Amino acid sequence: MSDFAEQRSAIKFYLRNEISAAETFRMLQRAFGESTMSQKNVYKWYKDFKEGRECTDDLERLGRLSTSIDEQHVKKIKELVLENRRLTIRDLVDMVGISFGSVQTILKDHLGLRKVKSRLVPRTLNFFVSFSPKIPLISFRNRLIHLT
């Protein structure tokens, strides 16, 4: 359990034992020292528990929304890759104007592609079906004779 989770549990305990928010903060400072959460947060959690909150876990946050991974960019990258499957991620970054990591995420997670021998291919590619016929050695030897 992290220090903050322990502190939230302690705040809940102190509230149930009718200890004031100010005294709760002082007791947390004595118990946790430098790693005590801020007074503002102690008071906020104290108030939340007083209003009936039971869970000591912090709520999930969305974080910053991605502005470069949207349908427009996914569609543009898909079109570029279908035109030329030998494009590098750097080429796509320059063409589309978004970050390297965003292009990687679009290729891998949204389009389901991966690199195989410098070529973007679907992950579900069946390698036994996709092999091209090899050039016979005689044909290769004949080409060498014509070149000399």
Domain ranges of the chain: 3-51, 71-110
Residue-level pLDDT at 133: 46
For residue 31 the two structure tokens come to 């118990």
What does the DSSP assignment read for 18-49?
A: T--HHHHHHHHHHHHGGGPPPHHHHHHHHHHH
For residue 137 the two structure tokens come to 């050695």
CATH code: domain 3-51 is 1.10.10.1450
pTM for the full predicted model = 0.44
pLDDT tens-place string over residues 10-59: 999 999 999 999 999 999 999 999 999 999 999 999 999 999 999 988 87
pLDDT reading at 84 higher than 60: yes
Residue-level pLDDT at 123: 60
pLDDT tens-place string over residues 98-141: 999 999 999 988 888 877 666 666 665 443 344 444 444 445 44
Task: Residue 58: name the closest of 120, 5, 121, 135 by CA.
Answer: 5
